[in-house]
Amino acid sequence: MGLFRKKLAVLDLTHGGIPIARKLTALGNEVSGVDVYGTVDQALLGELEEKYGIRCSKTPLPVSEFDLLIAPVHLDPAYPMLTEARSEGKTVLSHHETVGQILQADPRLSDIKIVEITGVKAKTSTASLLADMLSRNFKVVLHTSRGLEAWKEGIPFLIHRGLSITPGSILTAIEKSFESGIRPEFFIFEISIGATGTADLGILTTLSPDYGIANNTSLASDAKLQLVLNARPGSTLLLNAGAEKALEAAKGSRAKVLTFKDPLYAETQVKLSDAPDFVLETAFGTEKDSILHFLRREEELFSVSLCPGYNSSAYRTAFVAASAAALELGVCRKAVVSALEEFRGLSGRMQEKELNGVALVDNSNSGMDILSAEKALEYALLKKKDEKKGSIILVLGEEASQVCEGLPPVSVQGFLEKFGTKCRHIILVGERMKAVAAENVSYAGSLQEGLQKASELAGAEDMILSSVKCFR
């Protein structure tokens, strides 16, 4: 069923539904938008009705009024409109599928290659490194949780900030790019919980750690398999060799399937007959002497000595995935090596800085979770020992207004019970963290406030570790 001259209901205007509804209206459909969480400002809903003719509702609408429904993969299947749709045999498209159909019908994209990146970890770093590499030979526009950027010869230029990585935001990113007069040779999109099926190259970074979605009725890993199951014939898939579920789904795919072995999951058992196409071997003596050896089908293509100033081991997934993708897309080997040699980490992703003269390990980003916080603390403790630092001041928590998944307080409580004594003081960020209790804890309302308090507490020989889930 096509998306033209239909009566459509777009569910969830909070997570990318608005740009989808607007685009579908522009394509000649009669569209209603349903604010299933009741979080969209009434003034914005009024603007959608008056300016775009999109009827908006904060309550469920009768399914019989519509030809089909459009809903995100994470919506609770018990939502009344979804329940009614199943009972009536009404078609429900995901946000990802809908955006895919829109992109496939857009003639402006006919000569532009699209890269889609999904997974649990390393999406932003893989996308950013790949943009750097591609930009040495091509015009690139990159959309990640860091913002919408145009890349040229290894340097990013901000086009727009504030978009999420929901599939609907892809539509906005494309319009913003064209409005800025930028017509790239490559679009690279970081996408949450799946893919649109329009990519020339689709990259799956990791499927673990897995988690429940749709009110815990399904797994995020199953939704991310859209990257594989909806891949275009003739396109290329680059999959983590440790993601067995994805490899199984890729059997019989009409896409070209390539795999990479993620050194972060070295314990993954990969059968010899299923040897990965790309492998990254590391020689991490100290962080100032990190060497990468990149192999394709057991042949070493290059080795790289990395820059100091960030925890390079935190980027191992991105190093191998981005390098493999770049080579597959026609980037010369010299450009790949240059990008790796010049890389100094991404802001908020295990980057070493200073804050008012005090050493700061910055691990605050949108993908931060409790496992990331543990690895960051482990790294900070090693750095403290090697550099004979004083004590660690930890800033931990969430800016929940910006990140929908958040950081569960019960996970933070467990973290403090296990590791709390390793830090002199811990500043918990976010309203929900007030439910977490420990002896050496204080509270802050935002990352900025938390860092300010940490700076006031820290001595010149101390170290601040920042692990807050937030958009940067």
Domain-terminating residue out of 90, 123, 145: 90
Residues 221 and 251 in one domain: yes
Q: Domain count of the chain?
A: 3
d(CA 336, CA 455): 38
Is 150's pLDDT higher than 50?
A: yes
Q: What is the mean pLDDT of residues 432-457?
A: 93
Is 273's pLDDT higher than 80?
A: no
Residues 363 and 429 in one domain: yes
Neighbours of 111 (CB within 10 A): 8
Q: What is the mean pLDDT of residues 380-407?
A: 81
Which CATH number fits the domain that encloses residue 107?
Answer: 3.40.1190.10
Q: Which DSSP state fits 217? A: T
Residues 120 and 178 in one domain: yes
d(CA 346, CA 364): 11
Domain that holds residue 12: 7-90
Quote helix, strand, coil % in the chain, to nearest 5.
Answer: 35, 25, 40
Indicate the range of 95-104, 308-317, 443-452 predicted with least confidence: 308-317
Q: What is the pLDDT of residue 283?
A: 67
Is residue 97 situated within a structural domain?
no
Confidence of residue 351 (pLDDT cuts 50, 70, 90): confident
Question: What stretches of 387-432 show up as alpha helix (H) in DSSP?
Answer: 409-419
Q: What is the pLDDT of residue 311?
A: 81
Q: What is the pLDDT of residue 267?
A: 44
Residues 293 and 336 in one domain: yes
Mean pLDDT score across all residues of the chain: 91
Q: What is the pLDDT of residue 265?
A: 59
| Beta-bridge partners for 8 | 31, 68
- Report the predicted TM-score, pTM, of the whole model to 2 decimal places: 0.85
Domain-terminating residue out of 342, 369, 403: 342
Domain-terminating residue out of 90, 119, 139: 90
Is residue 1 situated within a structural domain?
no
Q: What is the mean pLDDT of residues 88-115?
A: 96
Q: Tokens at residue 176, please? A: 């913003």
Which CATH number fits the domain that encloses residue 64?
Answer: 3.40.50.720
Residues 337 and 363 in one domain: no
Which CATH number fits the domain that encloses residue 442?
Answer: 3.90.190.20
Residues 413 and 314 in one domain: no
Residues 115 and 219 in one domain: yes
Is 15's pLDDT higher than 60?
A: yes
Residues 278 and 338 in one domain: yes
**396: nearest Cα among 370, 424, 417:** 370
Report yes or no: 11 and 80 within 8 Å, Cβ to Cβ.
no
Q: What is the pLDDT of residue 264?
A: 62
Confidence of residue 365 (pLDDT cuts 50, 70, 90): confident
Residues 336 and 377 in one domain: no
**470: nearest Cα among 454, 449, 440:** 449
